[in-house]
Amino acid sequence: MTTPNNYFILSEGGLETFARQIVAETLKASGANIENFTADSTNMPEGDINGMARIKQRVTLPNGEKVWCTGETVGDAIANLLSRLAINQPSAKHIPTLKEYGETWYTLYHVQKVKPNTAQNTRIYLDKHIYPLLGDKRLDEITHDDVQIVFNGMKDKARSTVEKVRITLNQILKNALEDGHVQQNVMDSSRYVISKKVQEREPLNVSEVQDIIAHLDMLEERDRVLIALATYTGMRRGEMLALTWDDVDFEKHVIHVRHSVSFRNNRPVVGGTKSKAGVRITPMNPTLESILKTCTDKQGYVIKNTRTPDTPITEKTYQRTWERIGKTINLHGATAHIFRHTFATMMEPHTDIKTLQSIMGHADIQTTMNRYTHPIMENIQALSRINAFGDTAPTRE
């Protein structure tokens, strides 16, 4: 440990261990009697050792700085050196809590590379499922058990929801590992047990669809167009709201799906479809075509924003529209997504699966086969009553 220049180099360990080690070496170097020297601070000699003169020795700190180790007693020398080491020791790195780090990750990175709707969903996963249990924990304190507790609290949730929470937490901790806040990503483990529950979105049955169709004429124009698009095309909500009249081709009886609307703080944001397969041409059913042709204003967006015609409607306007429709006719609990499932299920007996995949805008045919078609326990003749979703405009009895 002693250098040719009689300097003392600190080895790795705690500050107090360093100090005791240096003082012991200093005593040896001075020829003092160190039989009573002990590393136990409770038994540390407080007085002079055998009348030894003041301890004084030049030492080198880990950062290369050369200082004097001095003191009237062993205890003084250790105390003095500890004080000096504490001054020269770099302060411990601040380890943020999961919430502190998660908010930085969300704001600086996540929202910059995902669609607004995805960012909005991530916000829910953080605030509702992750932060309540892990938000106040330092990143390096999070254990496998902590993560499993989060998953255990989601037993009533669909597996897809739990999986999205897992992905969100994994992304945060993966970035924390890159930044040196943790030594390992606890999400890199196969031990976790998560919900296997599959959330089924039950489609409307034939009679419910027929009831909605029969009452379309009770709705005001914009509301009638929205429900007709949902019923006869199975488009996603954002795709319907992004439709312009330039996308409607009455001559070829088709609708071009080119864009989709997402929302950021209530404001509509027009962007691309969910995937490349989302850009498609969908056939225009005669009933739908008849409804669209009766619209008074065929400029701009098909679903009109009365306040700002050059932009799609806001999220709150959409929600109010759906609530208003539900008070006028019976939607049988359907949302836009349930209409989408219903359309796929109703169309399945009338078209091959590849054609249906194209109409639905699915990148993967397995999505069409496994998620968006449901067995309906009704006679196939009942389906024909709507004549493959009707060839004539609906009439209400």
Q: Which sequence spans correspond to the domains of the chain?
A: 15-88, 98-178, 206-384
Is residue 237 within 8 Å of residue 274, measured between CB atoms? no
Q: What is the DSSP string of 20-59?
A: HHHHHHHHHHHT---TT--S-GGG---S-STTPPPEEEEE
Name the CATH topology of 98-178: DNA polymerase; domain 1 (1.10.150)
Average pLDDT over residues 201-207: 82
Average pLDDT over residues 368-392: 45
Q: Which of 226-235, 359-368, 379-388 has the lowest mean pLDDT?
A: 379-388
The C-alpha atoms of residue 380 and residue 124 are separated, in whole angstroms, by: 41
Average pLDDT over residues 285-310: 90
Q: How far is CA 332 from CA 325, 338, 360, 371, in A?
A: 11, 10, 23, 21
Q: Which residues pair with 248 in a beta bridge?
A: 255
Q: Which residues pair with 70 in a beta bridge?
A: 56
The C-alpha atoms of residue 258 and residue 72 are separated, in whole angstroms, by: 84
> What sign has the CA pseudo-torsion 227, 232, 238, 242?
negative
Q: Residue 39: CB partners within 8 Å, gap ≥ 6?
A: 17, 20
pLDDT at 382: 38
Q: Report the candidate in 238, 102, 73 with the shortest Cα–Cα distance to residue 168.
A: 102
pLDDT over 50 (residue 299) = yes
pLDDT over 90 (residue 20) = no
The C-alpha atoms of residue 214 and residue 195 are separated, in whole angstroms, by: 41
Average pLDDT over residues 99-118: 91
The C-alpha atoms of residue 83 and residue 98 are separated, in whole angstroms, by: 33
Average pLDDT over residues 75-91: 66
pTM over 0.75: no
pLDDT at 378: 39
The C-alpha atoms of residue 57 and residue 1 are separated, in whole angstroms, by: 14
pLDDT at 387: 44
Which residue matches tokens 């949902």? 230
Q: Report the candidate in 110, 109, 115 with the shortest Cα–Cα distance to residue 274.
A: 115
pLDDT tens for 123-161 read 999 999 999 999 999 999 999 999 999 999 998 888 888
- For the chain, what's the residue count? 397
Name the CATH topology of 206-384: hpI Integrase; Chain A (1.10.443)
pLDDT at 288: 93
